[in-house]
């Protein structure tokens, strides 16, 4: 049997729709189907108010596809998003529900939480703290900063993992020189890969490097949730999440649903990058994630032959912005040949040249992040639950 879109559609016709009426294909509830390396990805459109109730429908569809010969895995999401280019017509949007108050069940309460902005967040077993490394835009060196920060935290004696949450442009396999596919512990839970003593999970391990991930937001969020919660991380002191660039649906959902203990914002010095960095800062503020600080990446260039310094992108913009906003400034990372060469080679500078000036900068940033993280978690632990409105 050939595993293709039509084969998956035919199997999904056996899955009954909501309230056991018709099937999910004929009802037009199935999104476009994406198949890569024996893994099948799609979403099912349901009314938002019934998402929790219809979880068994999602599970039935996932099990149906997994039973097909040649299927190595399936990732299915429930979404209330109106489909475009899918099969059939999506159900009409439901009327807006009247808000109702209820006590918030938060694993990591945060201070001064505005009502209605942060849903319940479940802990990830074995992980003491999760921090996000984010940027308002791409191209500022966020992933390079994330991996060297993780290795800096490892150098401080912490047990560290990295989740590559950039679904559309995963970088960790190349940055850490990792190849191959992760194994499964029990047929359901993935074992993370490991490099330089750090555990790693990335969509780049699951699909070929050149395969485009043409997904809408709900599928991305579902994939991130599974890579976080369906992975055997073991006992970790810190999980560093390399967030997707920007402040869209995937980033917001990740910040809202994952119990983030803090966030690090990466920016370059020029005004254009700082404008976007402010957006990232404001996003985390709105979902009550403590800001651990700002890193100014590509802060200046040191000529390898003369050691002369050049402020190519300006200098000090991120420090000034941090002071203006009352956010910790974590440090300036220079633009050097070593950082670029070691990143391309899959041996980040903190691991490849631990005694270099560049590695010392990252370790200093890691020390400040560790201190800020401890303060943020102590503050959160002392706060009482808030009230959220739905």
Write down the pLDDT at residue 216: 61
Mean pLDDT of the region 222-251 = 83
What integer pLDDT is reported at residue 110 of this predicted model? 35
Domain co-membership, 26 together with 140 = no
Q: Does residue 289 form part of some domain?
A: yes
CATH number assigned to the domain comprising residue 56: 3.30.300.130
Residue 164 DSSP class: E
Query: Are both 48 and 167 inside the same structural domain?
Result: no
Ranked by mean pLDDT, the top range of 191-205, 218-232, 298-312 is 191-205
- Pairing state of beta strands 39-45 and 309-310? unpaired
Residues in the chain: 390
- Report the number of distinct structural domains present in the chain: 2
Strand locations in the chain, DSSP E? 34-36, 39-45, 73-79, 101-103, 130-134, 160-164, 193-195, 198-202, 238-242, 260-267, 291-302, 309-310, 329-335, 387-389
Domain span at 237: 130-378
The Cα 329–Cα 317 span in angstroms is 11
My answer on whether 144 and 235 are in the same domain is: yes
Q: In this predicted structure, what is the pLDDT of residue 214?
A: 60
Angle made by CA atoms 386, 387, 390, in degrees to the nearest 5: 140
Q: Is the pLDDT of residue 48 over 90?
A: no
Share of the chain above pLDDT 90, in %: 28
Nearest alpha-carbon partner for 215 in 5, 92, 41? 41
Whether residue 164 is found in the same domain as residue 256: yes
> Is residue 269 helix, strand or coil?
coil
Q: Domain boundary residue among 60, 79, 98?
A: 79
Are 208 and 291 members of one domain?
yes
Per-residue model confidence (pLDDT) at position 213? 61
Looking at the structure, tell me whether residues 309 and 368 fall in a common domain.
yes
pLDDT value, residue 160: 97
Average pLDDT score over residue span 234-247: 88
* Mean pLDDT of all residues belonging to the chain: 78
- The helix (H) or strand (E) run that includes residue 12 is helix 5-12
In-domain check, residue 143: yes
Comparing 207-211, 379-383, 385-389, the range with the smallest average pLDDT is 385-389
The answer to whether position 158 is within a domain reads yes
In a domain, 273, yes or no: yes
* Residue 175 pLDDT exceeds 50: yes
Least confident of 43-57, 90-104, 271-285, 348-362: 90-104
How far is Cα 172 from Cα 198, in angstroms, rounded to an integer?
Answer: 11
Do 135 and 48 share a domain, yes or no?
no
Could you tell me if 184 and 255 lie in one domain?
yes
What's the CATH code of the domain at 300? Answer: 3.40.50.300
**pLDDT, mean of residues 65-78:** 85
**Would you place residue 322 in the very low, low, confident or very high pLDDT band (cuts 50, 70, 90)?**
confident
Q: Give the whole-number percent of the chain exceeding pLDDT 70.
A: 80
What would the mean pLDDT of 58-77 be, rounded to a whole number? 87
Residues 249, 349, single domain; the answer is yes
Q: Are residues 227 and 327 in the same domain?
A: yes
Q: Is residue 383 situated within a structural domain?
A: no
98 in a domain, yes or no?
no
Q: Are residues 174 and 65 in the same domain?
A: no
**Boundary of a domain, candidates 79, 109, 143:** 79
Let me know if residue 91 belongs to a domain. Answer: no
Residues 164 and 266 in one domain: yes
Domain presence at residue 75: yes
pLDDT band at 185 (very low <50, low <70, confident <90, very high): confident
pLDDT of 233 reads 94
């Amino acid at each position: 049997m050939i595993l293709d879109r039509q084969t998956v559609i035919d199997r999904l016709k056996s899955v009954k729709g909501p309230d056991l009426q018709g099937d999910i294909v004929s009802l037009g509830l199935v999104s476009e189907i994406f198949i890569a390396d024996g893994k099948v990805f799609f979403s099912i459109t349901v009314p938002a108010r019934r998402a929790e109730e219809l979880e068994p429908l999602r599970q039935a569809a996932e099990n149906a596809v997994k039973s097909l010969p040649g299927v190595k895995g399936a990732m299915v999401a429930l979404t209330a998003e109106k489909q475009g280019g899918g099969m059939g017509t999506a159900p009409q949007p439901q009327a807006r529900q009247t808000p109702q108050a209820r006590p918030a069940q938060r694993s990591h309460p945060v201070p001064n939480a505005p009502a209605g902005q942060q849903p319940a967040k479940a802990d990830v077993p074995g992980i003491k703290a999760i921090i996000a490394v984010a940027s308002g835009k791409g191209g500022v060196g966020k992933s390079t900063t994330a991996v060297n920060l993780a290795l800096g935290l490892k150098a401080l004696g912490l047990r560290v993992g990295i989740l590559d949450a950039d679904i559309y442009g995963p970088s960790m396999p190349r940055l850490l020189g990792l190849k191959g596919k992760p194994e499964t512990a029990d047929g359901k839970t993935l074992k993370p890969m490991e490099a330089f003593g750090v555990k790693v999970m990335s969509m780049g391990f699951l699909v070929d490097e050149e395969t485009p991930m043409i997904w809408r937001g709900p599928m991305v969020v579902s994939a991130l949730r599974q890579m976080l919660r369906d992975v055997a991380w073991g006992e970790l002191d810190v999980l560093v999440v390399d967030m997707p660039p920007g402040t869209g649906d995937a980033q917001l959902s990740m910040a809202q649903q994952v119990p983030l203990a803090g966030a690090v914002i990466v920016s370059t010095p020029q005004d254009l990058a700082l404008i976007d960095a402010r957006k990232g800062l404001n996003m985390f503020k709105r979902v009550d994630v403590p800001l651990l600080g700002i890193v100014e990446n590509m802060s200046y260039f040191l000529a390898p032959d003369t050691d002369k310094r050049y402020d190519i992108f300006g200098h000090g913009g991120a420090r000034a912005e941090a002071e203006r906003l009352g956010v910790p400034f974590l440090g300036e990372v220079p633009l050097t040949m070593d950082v670029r060469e070691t990143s391309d080679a899959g041996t980040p500078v903190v691991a490849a040249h631990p005694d270099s000036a560049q590695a010392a900068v990252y370790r200093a940033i890691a020390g400040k992040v560790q201190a800020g993280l401890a303060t943020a978690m102590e503050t959160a632990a002392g706060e009482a639950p808030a009230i959220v409105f739905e």
